[in-house]
Amino acid sequence: MNNKADGFTLVELMVTLAVVGVLTSIAAPSFRGMVLDTRLSTQANDMLLSLKFTRSEAVKRNARVTMCRSSSGTGCAAAATGSASWESGWIVFADGGVVGTVDATDTVLRVQGALPTATVDGAGGVADFVSYVGNGQTSAAAGGTQVGTFSLCGPELTARRRKIALTPGSGWVGVQTVAAATTCTSA
At 45-96, the pLDDT tens digits run: 999 999 999 999 999 999 999 999 998 999 998 877 666 789 899 999 999 9
* pTM of full prediction above 0.85: no
Highest mean pLDDT of the ranges 20-29, 94-103, 148-157 = 94-103
Q: How many CB atoms lie within 10 A of CB 108?
A: 14
Q: How confident is the model at residue 181 (pLDDT cuts 50, 70, 90)?
A: confident
Residues 6+ apart with CB under 8 A from 117: 36, 39, 40, 43, 154, 155
Taken in order of first residue, the domains within the chain and their CATH numbers are 10-178 (3.55.40.10)
Concatenated DSSP letters of 23-64: HHHHHHHHHHHHHHHHHHHHHHHHHHHHHHHHHHHHHHHTS-
Q: Is the pLDDT of residue 185 over 80?
A: no
Q: Which tens digits make up the pLDDT trace of 1-42?
A: 566 767 778 888 888 888 888 887 776 667 777 788 888 888
In contact, 141 and 99? CB cutoff 8 Å = yes
